[in-house]
Amino acid sequence: MENLIDKIILDALNEDLLPGGDITSSSLISNDHKSSFSLVVNENAVLAGIDIFKRTFYLLDKDVSVETNLKNSDYLEKNQIVAHVKGYTRSILKAERTALNFISLLSGIATTTYELKDLIKGRNVELLDTRKTTPNLRVLEKQAVVAGGGKNHRFNLSEMVLIKDNHIDVFGSVEKAVSKICKSYNGKIKVEVEVRDLTELKEAISSKLSSKIDIIMFDNWKVDELKSALKLVPKGILTEASGQITTRNIKDYAKTGVNFISTGCMIKNAKWIDFSLKTSV
């Protein structure tokens, strides 16, 4: 995982520096000049990506130091100094924008996750993310969700079985799809099934299938319909609500008694947090 994260950071640095490097700083600042900078947050936020911020400078120049007593998931207040960065000025300026982009994006995701989590506080329901992530940044974005108080759903397609609407349509029915999966994996992997209506739900909870399914996902169900449907689900099967769940309606879904709420809202609707790197010269 560390190698993957390093590759993401190095690719981002190269995006800014190739092919000719930082021609402005190289022209204006001597190679041996050193500076101190402060990382300041310009709005209230939940911190995520401070480790990525540090690593960005380290991978460009191991002599740049980033000092902080804060950690991911800490709450930040506007104008708070988050970290101190010291080292060769050219190096710091080369990595500045890339490091800020990472921490701004990831803290935005953590902050939105925190807001969603706060809306369902007191309810016995877990907040999950989805695979709706920025291509090649999934590992970082899912870490940011955790920093904000959420939990990760499956990381990728090989982590668990999730039989979705397209699988059911292509394969023929819920029963056929679940039976085929169980023959392939024989209970060795968790099985989740998406249901779109009462017909599919009743098929999933039938005596033939109920012992083979771990989680039933109710995708794009209205709150009232979901509340009624949950009463039919036998004990031993966990339930998940998903589809178009945002800050506007997450409270209502949490009140239904569902075990999990999964949403891509914390990533696709997150607003970047404004950070600045200010030099004391």
Tens of pLDDT, residues 84-111 = 999 999 999 999 999 999 999 999 999 9
Residues 187 and 62 in one domain: no
pLDDT at 260 over 80: yes
What 3-state class would DSSP assign to 168?
helix
Total domains in the fold of the chain: 2
Residues 221 and 234 in one domain: yes
Which whole number is the average pLDDT over 191-207? 94
Q: What is the pLDDT of residue 141?
A: 98
Residues 9 and 73 in one domain: yes
Residue 273's pLDDT band, with cuts at 50, 70 and 90, is very high
Structural domain range at position 18: 2-117+271-279
CB atoms within 10 A of CB 18: 8
Residues 106 and 135 in one domain: no
Domain of residue 94, CATH code: 3.90.1170.20
pLDDT at 129 over 80: yes
Query: DSSP E strands: which ranges in 77-228?
Result: 81-88, 126-128, 161-163, 191-195, 215-219
Q: What is the pLDDT of residue 281?
A: 66
As a whole-number percent, the residues of the chain with pLDDT over 70 amount to: 100
Residues 109 and 136 in one domain: no
Which whole number is the average pLDDT over 135-141? 97
Q: What's the whole-model pTM score? A: 0.95
- For 10-38, what is each residue's pLDDT tens digit? 999 999 999 999 999 999 999 999 999 99
Residues 107 and 131 in one domain: no
Residues 74 and 136 in one domain: no
pLDDT at 219 over 90: yes
Residues 113 and 152 in one domain: no
CB atoms within 10 A of CB 7: 11
